[in-house]
Amino acid sequence: MARLYYAPRLLLTLVALITIVVPYIADYNETHVLNPTWPGHARFHGGRTMSMGVYLGFMTLWKTWSRDQDHLWTATMLAATYYITQFSAYYYPGATAWDPPQHFSVPHVHLYVVVPMLSLVALAQIMERWRVSGIDDGGRKAL
């Protein structure tokens, strides 16, 4: 039964760690925050986005491993926040996924990150709901 207890938490931990680290890999470079052509306000938003990833990642870790009754539901919502907002960014006027000199031939390349991450979050929530409502081999309610 321990595997059922830890599997959703491990999935959310993976999402949280990726959320903390990957925005810095993607944005703290010469095409984004260190881009000399970016105005200060664009750097402000880039920095805010990276900081939001760190905050959401750590909040996800905290709620994933806390003993609160709603811990995994809250952790799921926190883990999904960064990726839902990343997907929504495509719908702002003039928004593009990449600026020169970067170029990717795949349209909406961020969806290759957003969809798998949201899938992991959803899978963790489904597994937890199944675990909590299920019965283990001994006929007892899984806790």
Helix (H, G, I), strand (E, B) or coil at 70: coil
Average pLDDT over residues 24-33: 89
Q: Tell me the C-alpha distance between 64 and 95, whole Å.
A: 33
Structure tokens of 11? Answer: 């999935």
**What does each C-alpha distance from 43 to 8, 26, 35, 50, 109 come to in angstroms?**
35, 14, 9, 11, 22
Buried b / exposed e along 52-63 (16+ C-beta atoms within 10 A): ebeebbebbbeb
Q: What is the pLDDT of residues 34-91, one digit of tens each?
A: 888 888 888 888 888 999 999 999 999 999 998 877 888 899 999 999 899 888 877 7
Q: Residue 142 pLDDT more than 60?
A: no
Structure tokens of 136? Answer: 């283990």
pLDDT given for residue 100 in this prediction? 67
Q: What is the pLDDT of residues 91-104, one digit of tens each?
A: 777 777 776 666 76
Q: What is the pLDDT of residues 102-114, one digit of tens each?
A: 676 776 777 888 8
pLDDT given for residue 113 in this prediction? 87
pLDDT given for residue 61 in this prediction? 95
Residue 73: phi, psi to the nearest 5? -65, -45
Q: Residue 126 pLDDT more than 80?
A: yes
